[in-house]
């Protein structure tokens, strides 16, 4: 180890000893509320530049993706330390892997239990120009506003909110921005193979993928939290508390319904409890219309607050959520949640593509009938078998157009996001940018 690294390691060790010796302090509700407000506004601000045309869709290993990584490191430097103890400077935030890709990782050191970690993550890559479904002849940029500029923005926002607290959390919090997700969870699986913190010390992994999206006009206030049963009753309770504090109708579903399609999967494979926040895939999924004008900024703000409150609760909890490997494929509660979503979607029958209208009516009737039969009549896969055609309907049976947008006068819309962006710009203006002009034009 080089002398500079030895000195840095000694300083870090001394800091951890001091923090461990200090008595834990409970955060006051007003302190948590103030930090939650930071999370809401920061998420709205970060998603604006992450989904800007200048980053050309943040393709993994592509110029736009490389430029996004540099900007993200700028933000991570202001929040926490680089996670790699053997690297210096900005390289401490990188975990390079195949083909010029790189995960980005930072840590906010904790207090009395700094050697335990809550990991919060989401992928920042999407697609290079022309690599997604092009719906308009004059636009080939795959901005991926909901998938997953929004998720990456929430990760940054949670970090900023934690830094806004008057003291560090009890446990350390790792911020993970994964690369290569769109090509098969490459970055998170690389971390599984080469972890920078022991998986045995990871308390829970909290994942954000596709946020600020709406499946249908009638489901603007609906979202999903998947897999909390992997951490037993404690994790389920903490998720419910965070959702309840914010009020967004976020339905808990079993881990089956995540379909292994996001970066929680490697952590689940390593027996780490997980929760996966998502809005599922609507008609604009992996198209050039997944852009800022489709993103529900008010919803995104609420999702960022839910994430912050959950991560803080996990960092402060006396006990760790116990890994629970023996879980049911689906449950009666899953069936109830899916039935409710389908019943609400009937209000949008007029905008459903004609070939899917009968399917929606039939699916809703089947779900409602099975729910009415009660939990004793529930059979394994009742909910899962309904979810497959329901997801197909939401992805392919509705148009990708402005009717999926939030109400124009909804709280926290584009005007609020513009204010948040201006505040972020003011904060950045005094900090030297490190992206070469040859990499990309500057974001506004």
Q: Is the Cβ–Cβ distance between 176 and 105 less than 8 Å?
A: yes
**Averaged pLDDT of the chain:** 88
**Virtual torsion, Cα 292, 120, 86, 102, nearest 10 deg:** -40
**The token pair that represents 438 in the structure block:** 């040859």
Q: Percent of the chain scored above 70 by pLDDT?
A: 85
Mutual angle of helices 297-316 and 232-246, in 10-degree steps = 140
Q: Is residue 421 part of a domain?
A: no
Higher-confidence position of 185 and 424: 185
Q: How many domains does the chain have?
A: 2
Are 274 and 388 contained in the same domain?
Answer: no
- Among the listed residues 315, 306, 301, the one whose alpha carbon sits nearest the alpha carbon of residue 252: 306
Task: Give 197-244 pLDDT, tens digit per residue.
Answer: 999 999 999 999 999 999 998 999 999 999 999 999 999 999 999 999
Residues in a beta bridge with 250: 223
Residue 175 pLDDT > 90, yes or no? yes
**SS3 of residue 158 by DSSP:** helix
Model confidence band, residue 2 (pLDDT cutoffs 50, 70, 90): very low
Residues 380 and 253 in one domain: no
Q: What are phi and psi of 285, to 5 degrees?
A: -60, 130
State whether 277 and 373 are in the same domain.
Answer: no
> Residues 223, 341: one domain?
no
The span from the CA of 58 to the CA of 213, in Å, is 19
Which three-class secondary structure state does DSSP give residue 242? helix
Distance between CA atoms of residues 221 and 298, nearest Å? 10
Q: Are 347 and 218 in contact (CB under 8 A)?
A: yes
In-domain check, residue 300: yes
Look up the domain containing 346 and give its range.
Answer: 335-396
Domain boundary among 283, 310, 327: 327
Scan for tokens 């903490």, then name that residue: 238
pLDDT at 53 over 80: yes
Summarised one tens digit per residue, pLDDT across range 362-399 is 999 999 999 999 999 999 999 999 999 999 999 999 98
Q: Do 56 and 163 belong together in one domain?
A: yes
Residue 197 lies in a domain: yes
The set of residues, in sequence order, having a beta carbon less than 8 Å from that of 268 and lying 6+ positions away, is 227, 230, 255, 274
Q: Residue 192 above 70 pLDDT?
A: yes
What is the rounded distance in angstroms from the CA atom of residue 311 to the CA atom of residue 305?
A: 10
Peptide bond into 198 cis (omega under 30): no
Higher pLDDT, 42 or 13: 42
The model's confidence at residue 401, banded by pLDDT at 50, 70 and 90, is confident
Average pLDDT over residues 286-291: 95
pLDDT at 279: 97
The residue to which tokens 């923005």 are assigned:
153
79 and 198 co-located in one domain: yes
Same structural domain, 352 and 304: no
Per-residue confidence band for 423, with pLDDT thresholds at 50, 70 and 90: very low
Mean pLDDT: which of 291-295, 426-430, 436-440 is highest?
291-295
- Please report whether residue 157 resides in a domain: yes
- Phi/psi for 360 (5° steps) reads -65, -45
- Kindly state whether residue 188 falls inside one of the protein's structural domains: yes
- The yes-or-no verdict on residue 65 having pLDDT over 80 is yes
Helix (H) / strand (E) element for 345: namely helix 332-345
Judge whether 440 lies within some domain.
no
pLDDT at 428: 40
CATH number of the domain bearing residue 168:
3.40.630.10
**What average pLDDT does range 134-161 have in this prediction?**
97
| Radius of gyration, CA atoms only, the chain | 21
Distances in Å between the alpha carbon of 235 and those of 107, 174, 218, 239, 319?
Answer: 22, 18, 29, 6, 10
What is the total residue count of the chain? Answer: 444
Q: What is the pLDDT of residue 404?
A: 63
In angstroms, the CA 76 to CA 73 distance is 5
Q: Is 125 helix (H, G, I), strand (E, B) or coil?
A: coil
Query: Does residue 142 fall inside a structural domain?
Result: yes
Mean pLDDT for 312-316 is 98
Domain match, 278 and 140 both: yes
| Pair (313, 341) in one structural domain | no
Q: Among 303, 327, 351, identify where a domain stops.
A: 327
Question: Cα–Cα distance between 184 and 179 in angstroms, integer?
Answer: 10
Inform me whether the pLDDT recorded for 8 exceeds 50. no
pLDDT the model gives residue 350 = 92
Predicted TM-score of the model (pTM): 0.88
| Predicted confidence band of residue 437 (pLDDT cuts 50, 70, 90) | very low
Task: Give the tokens for residue 388.
Answer: 């497959």
Q: Looking at the structure, tell me whether residues 124 and 47 fall in a common domain.
A: yes
Residue 427 has pLDDT above 60, yes or no: no
| Look-up of token digits 């998170």 | 188
My answer on whether 306 and 346 are in the same domain is no
Q: Residue 82: helix, strand or coil by DSSP?
A: strand
358 C-beta neighbours (distance < 10 Å), count = 10
Task: Please say which residue of 327, 343, 364 terminates a domain.
Answer: 327
DSSP 131-147: SSB--BTTB-----III
pLDDT tens digits along 81-132: 999 999 999 999 999 999 899 999 999 999 999 999 999 999 999 999 999 9
Helices (H) and strands (E) in the chain — how many of each? 12, 9
Pairing of strands 101-108, 171-178: antiparallel
Q: Are residues 322 and 340 in the same domain?
A: no
Instruction: Give the pLDDT score at 414.
Output: 42
Structure tokens at 323: 């890994």
Res. 9: pLDDT tops 70: no
Q: How many CB atoms are located within 10 Å of the residue 20 CB? A: 13
Rounded Cα distance between 168 and 201, Å, is 18
Whether 260 maps to a domain, the answer reads: yes
């Amino acid at each position: 180890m080089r002398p500079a690294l030895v000195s840095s390691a000694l300083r870090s060790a001394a800091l951890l000893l001091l923090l461990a010796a200090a008595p834990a302090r409970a955060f006051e509700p007003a302190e948590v509320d103030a930090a939650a407000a930071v999370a809401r506004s920061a998420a709205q601000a970060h998603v604006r530049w992450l989904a800007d045309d200048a980053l050309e869709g943040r393709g993994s290993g592509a110029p736009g993706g490389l430029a996004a990584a540099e900007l993200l490191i700028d933000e991570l430097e202001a929040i926490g330390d680089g996670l790699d103890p053997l690297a210096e400077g900005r390289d401490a935030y990188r975990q390079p892997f195949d083909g010029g890709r790189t995960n980005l990782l930072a840590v906010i050191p904790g207090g009395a239990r700094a050697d335990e970690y809550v990991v919060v993550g989401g992928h920042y890559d999407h697609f290079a120009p022309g690599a997604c479904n092009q719906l308009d002849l004059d636009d080939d940029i795959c901005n991926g506003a909901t998938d997953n500029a929004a998720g990456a923005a929430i990760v940054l926002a949670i970090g900023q909110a934690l830094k806004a607290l008057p003291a560090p959390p009890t446990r350390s919090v790792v911020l993970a921005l994964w690369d290569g997700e769109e090509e098969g969870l490459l970055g998170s699986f690389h971390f599984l193979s080469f972890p920078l913190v022991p998986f045995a010390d990871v308390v829970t992994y909290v994942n954000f993928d596709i946020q600020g999206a709406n499946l249908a006009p009638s489901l603007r206030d609906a979202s999903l939290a998947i897999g909390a049963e992997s951490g037993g009753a404690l994790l389920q309770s903490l998720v419910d508390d965070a959702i309840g504090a914010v009020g967004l109708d976020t339905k808990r579903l079993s881990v089956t319904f995540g379909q292994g399609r996001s970066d929680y999967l490697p952590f689940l494979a390593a027996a780490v409890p997980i929760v996966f926040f998502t809005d599922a895939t609507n008609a604009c999924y992996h198209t050039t219309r997944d852009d800022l004008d489709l993103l529900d900024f008010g919803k995104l703000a609420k999702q960022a607050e839910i994430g912050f409150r959950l991560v803080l609760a996990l960092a402060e909890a006396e006990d760790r959520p116990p890994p629970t490997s023996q879980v049911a494929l689906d449950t009666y509660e899953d069936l109830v949640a899916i039935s409710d979503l389908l019943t609400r979607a009937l209000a949008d029958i007029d905008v459903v593509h004609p070939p899917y209208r009968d399917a929606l009516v039939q699916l809703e009737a089947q779900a409602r009938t099975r729910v009415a039969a009660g939990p004793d009549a529930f059979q394994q896969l009742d909910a899962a078998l309904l979810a497959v055609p329901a997801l197909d309907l939401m992805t392919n049976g509705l148009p990708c157009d402005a009717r999926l947008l939030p109400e124009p006068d909804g709280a926290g819309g584009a005007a609020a996001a513009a204010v948040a962006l201006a505040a972020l710009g003011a904060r950045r203006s005094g900090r030297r940018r490190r992206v070469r002009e040859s990499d990309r034009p500057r974001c506004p």
